[in-house]
Amino acid sequence: MAAAAALVCLCASAAAPSRAADAPKKLLIVTVTKGFHHDSIPTLERVVAQLGMESGAWVPDAARSDEELQAKTAPSALDGYDGVVFASTTGDIPLADRDAFLKWIEAGHGFIGLHSASDTFHGYAPYISMIGGEFDSHGPQVEVNVQVEDRAHPATAGLGKSFKVYDEIYQFKSFSRQLVHPLISLDRHPNEGTPGYFPLAWTKSYGKGRVFYTALGHREDVIEAPWYKEHVRGGILWALGLR
């Protein structure tokens, strides 16, 4: 973790608010939690940072504490970023100004929500509208057969028509299939097996901003899997307007 933190700090200092059009994007990775804390968060942060460094597409910065989050999401500070990742955040995390944060996304920046990003700001309807769905419940971890709805999207290219994964599988409320662009889903309840529609990843527009969300990534072995890294990398590239 110390090496990852050093990597993030070095990368963050390399970028300035004024950047050439072809310079790497600057991405803020938020790992603050106020509800359930996932032990896999450091792995998720490290993977996102490494994907940026390997691709050269973005340089990472991190907000791991309340103080860092408030400082780095102040409106003047947000001007220095191109996008933000909520990496398994939960609860009402202390953004400097959550209304201004959503306006920043709406103005044309990228938002990437990973796993429990949908378990964040439950009482704040504008956030739920922005991300496209709200965590409702999950059962025991289980192997599921995931259906790929868009095989051409950067976040799902290469996944084939379907694939199997063993993970914690979310069910959602405050979700409308018509208001998002579905990427992957289940055609039956993950634990009960009853037929239905159960979304797992999608994209959507939010004003001029781009939103990518995936519910997968609870387990460290899932986060470390090559297919998951490509899923997240493609989603980030799309959200940053690079694909």
DSSP single-letter state for residue 159: S
Domain locations in the chain as residue ranges: 2-10+24-134+202-239
- Residuewise pLDDT in 10s, the chain (243 residues): 433 444 444 343 333 333 455 799 999 999 999 999 999 999 999 999 999 999 999 999 999 999 999 999 999 999 999 999 999 999 999 999 999 999 999 999 999 999 999 999 999 999 999 999 999 999 999 999 999 999 999 999 999 999 999 999 999 999 999 999 999 999 999 999 999 999 999 999 999 999 999 999 999 999 999 999 999 999 999 999 999
Which candidate, 135, 136, 122, 112, places its Cα nearest to that of 202? 112
Angle at CA of residue 224, ends 52 and 219, nearest 5°: 120
Sequence-separated (6 or more) residues with CB below 8 Å from residue 109: 78, 81, 82, 83, 84, 209
Angle between helices 41-55 and 226-239 (to 10 degrees): 70
CA 242 to chain centre: 16
pLDDT for the residue numbered 22: 77
> 120-139 b/e with 16+ CB inside 10 Å = b?
bbbeeeebbebbbbbbeebe
As a CATH number, domain 2-10+24-134+202-239 is: 3.40.50.880
Tokens 């956030």 map to which residue?
A: 127
Query: What is the pLDDT, as a whole number, of residue 9?
Result: 40
Residues 115 and 119: their CA atoms lie apart, in Å, by 8
